[in-house]
Amino acid sequence: MEAVAAAPAPAPAPVRLWVKTEPFLVGALPVPPPARLGPHYLRKMAAYTRARATEGCFPRLSWPRWRHIACGKLQLGRDLAWLYFELFHSLLRRDPSRRLQWAEAEAACASADELERERSKLSVDTLQFLLFLYVQQMNKVSLRTSLIGEEWPSPRTRSPSLTGKSTSKNKNWNDQDHHTFVQSHLSDMLELLLEPEQLTASSHSTRSSLVSYEAICALSFLIEGTVNKSRTVHPLHELALWQPCHGQNGYSKVSKAFSFPKLESWLWSCLTTNPFGMTACLKSGKKLAWAQQVEGTTRRAKIACNTCVVPEVFPMVIMSQVYKQTLAKSSDTLVGAHIRIHRCNESFIYLLSPLRSVTIEKCRNSTFVLGPVQASVHVHSCDNIKVIVVCHRLCLSSTAGCTFYILTPTQPLILSGNQAVSFAPFHTHYPMLEDHMAQVGLATLPNYWDRPMLVCKESGDTSVFCLLPPSDFYTFVIPFEMEGDTTETPGGLPHAYQKALSQREQKVQIWQKTVKEAGLTKDQRKQFQMLVENKFYEWLVQTGNRQQLDSLVPPAVGSKQAAG
């Protein structure tokens, strides 16, 4: 009797999944999380919120309930509790009109009690918020790292730079780290999303545990993908319900849920490198000839952007080693992009477009003038730089001697390792500035530029920062012509700073009047003019402004910065 051949196993569905950039790049605070935000306590929080579903804990978690959990159960400070809540809330609320409505409501609050009542109207998706809190573990310092100073050498955990060499790690940017983190902690994260009856007494899964469709919707916060190499990006929950995938991910139409072990195995097998991440951008991205190559130096400026851009994903621009020059761009390539500026020295960089996020790291002696930034500006390991920006959030770590001229609706975050930080009010404008602010949902009020928050108190105290004295404050002129209606600094200047400018302007007028009334002869005027010009030239050289003026002269034909 002939043996009956076994039916071939169904071919894996051609689904490609990857870990999204946004939750890690702008959602993970670049600082080790409090110990009470570890997996053990998050499992307790998951059980607590489900048990109190009728009290504003599940399926949406209100600010008052999270404040109670964070301050009462997890022993977090109130400011830190609001920081995590607002960070997650703003990460998902991208609609500019809703952002502006919230800014208006917050600015109208005349007291702390009124502000608290306004915040009490806010809520977040509970399961997604649990995942967001879990993601903060990515920047947890391991014992091994703290002992040897770096991770074990591994090609997978070293991110290439634009020069092809490995760089020190920035986990928030490194999509390989995001991928490794999710794969390593996938089981834990899935267990956070399980209903209580699917867990053991110790809050773990079993072989028979079922994962609800709502849990998969929450996991879409971290994972997305495509079908059949299509350029259309879909959230995870849509792909998981695709009929050809049911055999692999264990979806049952009867229970309307997924088998835990099968789902975990399917996710593992389908997860791949993010085609829109930093690795892809550096490996196969479009090189932009925006910067000049300065003669007499071995440094080569490198600028790249995604070649593969789809509407569902924010674009990415990475620039490195811009040296001794002025780079100025207002470009569609920048609009809504995540920007990484790395190892740029003695330069003046103007990126005058509405941006999604900006990271500035390992830069020295440079000035950065940025268009409005919808999410965050993170400055890391920089010395003696100036940053001029309207942004939703500013984070600082390991900076020295830097000055920030900012307009921001959230408290600037001072993380670890900072020295001699100065804050000053935003003090410039360009013609399209207010239009760009409206595009990203940023208003002039509230403005917390002068109320920084020390997130890592063990790294120092309030002596690490100061407010720039009004006597040292000067307005900044953006030296480019553009179309647009903005003719002055949005929101104006604080009284003390405006008064200092007015007094300085008055001194100039008195000086001009004195010169006019001095009755100098023609030869004396000529001699006096030469003296003033010589002193002015000396000042330009001493302050470094001579370099900036020289770099504003258009380059010769054939060496112009490319459009793009």
pLDDT tens-digit readout, 387-435: 999 999 999 999 999 999 999 999 999 999 999 999 999 999 999 999 9
Mean pLDDT of all residues in 196-221: 93
Residue 140 reports pLDDT greater than 60: yes
| Average model confidence (pLDDT) across the chain | 87
State the average pLDDT over residues 128-155.
69
β-pairing verdict for 413-414 and 453-454: parallel
- Compute the distance between CA of residue 205 and CA of residue 219 in angstroms, rounded to an integer: 17
Q: Which long-range contacts (CB under 8 A, 24 or more apart) does 365-374 make?
A: 365/544, 367/548, 368/341, 369/428, 369/476, 369/478, 371/330, 371/334, 371/433, 371/436, 372/433, 372/436, 372/437, 372/439, 372/440, 372/442, 373/440, 374/94, 374/336, 374/440, 374/441, 374/442
d(CA 515, CA 464): 44
Confidence of residue 558 (pLDDT cuts 50, 70, 90): very low
Sign of the Cα pseudo-torsion (153, 159, 160, 161, in order)? negative
Structure confidence at residue 215 (pLDDT): 97
CB atoms within 10 A of CB 351: 24
- Which one-letter DSSP state was computed for residue 113? H
pLDDT in tens, 210-232: 999 999 999 999 999 999 778 89
**Cα–Cα–Cα angle for 375, 381, 387, rounded to 5 degrees:** 50
- Taking residues 285-295, what's their average pLDDT? 79
Please tell me the predicted confidence (pLDDT) of residue 553: 62
The phi-psi region of residue 484 (left if phi > 0; otherwise alpha if psi is between -120 and 50; otherwise beta) is left
Q: Which residue has the higher pLDDT, 167 or 69?
A: 69
In sequence order, what are the residues at sequence separation of 6 or more whose Cβ sits closer than 8 angstroms to the Cβ of residue 409? 103, 106, 392, 442, 443, 445, 446, 447, 448
Using the predicted structure, report yes or no on whether residue 375 has a pLDDT greater than 70: yes
pLDDT computed for residue 492 by the predictor: 95
Instruction: Name the token pair of 173.
Output: 């940017």
Q: Residue 162 pLDDT > 90, yes or no?
A: no
Q: Which residue has the higher pLDDT, 244 or 507?
A: 244
User: CA-CA distance, 228 to 270, in Å (whole number)?
Assistant: 12
pLDDT at 372: 98
Mean pLDDT for the stretch of residues 172-189: 94
pLDDT score at 548:
65
> What pLDDT is recorded for position 470?
96
Confidence of residue 18 (pLDDT cuts 50, 70, 90): very high
- Read off the pLDDT of residues 91-123 as tens digits, 9 standing for 90 and up: 988 799 999 999 999 999 999 999 999 999 999
Res. 549: pLDDT tops 70: no
- Residue 222 sits at the vertex; the CA angle it makes with 216 and 224, to the nearest 5 degrees, is 75
- Distance of alpha carbon 84 from alpha carbon 541, whole angstroms: 46
CA distances from 530 to 139, 511, 546 (A): 58, 17, 18
430/531 Cα distance (integer angstroms): 34
Say which residue, 315 or 519, is predicted with more confidence. Answer: 315
pLDDT confidence bin for 552, thresholds 50/70/90: low
pLDDT-based confidence at 138, cuts 50/70/90? very high
Q: Is the pLDDT of residue 7 over 90?
A: no
Give residue 165's pLDDT.
36
What pLDDT, on a 0 to 100 scale, did the predictor assign at position 297?
A: 60
Query: Which residues pair with residue 319 across a beta bridge?
Result: 303, 341
pLDDT at 541: 78
- Residue 205 φ/ψ, nearest 5 degrees: -85, 170
Q: Check residue 228 and give left, alpha or beta (phi > 0: left; psi -120 to 50: alpha).
A: left
Q: Please name every residue paired with 252 in a beta bridge, in sequence order, or none if there are none.
A: 257
Flag the least confident range among 17-31, 177-191, 337-351, 496-510. 496-510
Distance, CA of 156 to chain centre: 23
Query: What pLDDT is stored for residue 111 in this prediction?
Result: 96
Amino acid at 219: L
**pLDDT beyond 60 at 324:** yes
- Better-predicted residue by pLDDT, 554 or 447: 447
| Partner residues linked to 61 by β-bridges | 124
**What confidence tier does 560 reach under pLDDT thresholds 50, 70, 90?**
very low
Give residue 505's pLDDT. Answer: 85
* pLDDT at res. 160: 39
Alpha-carbon distance 370 to 394, whole Å?
A: 13
Residue 316 in this model has a pLDDT that exceeds 60: yes
Higher confidence at residue 275 or residue 557? Answer: 275
- pLDDT > 70 fraction of the chain, expressed in percent and rounded: 87
Q: Residue 77 above 70 pLDDT?
A: yes
Residue 509 carries which side chain, given as an amino acid letter?
Q
- Assign 173 a pLDDT band (cuts: 50, 70, 90): very high
Higher pLDDT pick, 141 / 126:
126
pLDDT range class, residue 163, cuts 50, 70, 90: very low
Read off the pLDDT band of 170 (50, 70, 90). confident
Q: At residue 46, what is the residue type?
A: A
Q: What is the pLDDT of residue 421?
A: 97
Decide if pLDDT at 292 tops 90.
Answer: no
For residue 167, what pLDDT is reported?
39
Which residues are within 8 A (CB) of 551 and not within 5 positions of it... i.e. 6 or more apart?
324, 325, 326, 348
Residue 231: what pLDDT? 82
